[in-house]
Homo-oligomer: A and B are copies of this chain.
Amino acid sequence: MPFLRFDLIEGRSEAEVKMILDVTHEVLLQTLKIPKRDRYQVVHEHRPSQVVLEDTGLGFARSDRAVVLQLTSRPRSREMKEAFYRMLVDRLESRCGIPPSDVVVNFVTNADEDWSFGAGRAQFLTGELQ
């Protein structure tokens, strides 16, 4: 379930974008313990002028490899989110060459009744999903 919206700066190949999506999904599987096919991802690729990322004084230099990821999800524990952040930057660095300083993530929380994955049913309410 989490629904993932990626904002990237244009210039990557389709294979590079696919790798980012694949790696992120693997990390979600491992840290949020979601079902294997619980994958809902969309990507926006922007011109550089359409993205402004500073650093809140934390000392991060952003580059055109920046990844902004917004996840909408039912409630997840603080520990799961922290594990997700950590593993995500590790894997994006090792597998995609993205600097940890370029990964900005935020979660938005909703509820069971807020999801329909197809066929007009709210699968967390019908009991099809838990």
| A interface list, Cβ under 8 A from B | 1, 3, 7, 14, 17-18, 21, 25, 35-47, 49-58, 60, 68, 70, 72, 78, 81-82, 85-90, 100-111, 113-123, 125, 128-129
Contact = CB atoms under 8 A, between A and B. Distances in A.
22 contacts: A1-B56, A35-B56, A39-B53, A42-B50, A43-B49, A58-B118, A58-B123, A58-B128, A58-B129, A60-B117, A60-B118, A78-B113, A81-B113, A100-B119, A101-B118, A103-B116, A103-B120, A104-B116, A105-B116, A106-B115, A108-B110, A109-B114
A19 to B, nearest CB: 11
A57 to B, nearest CB: 5
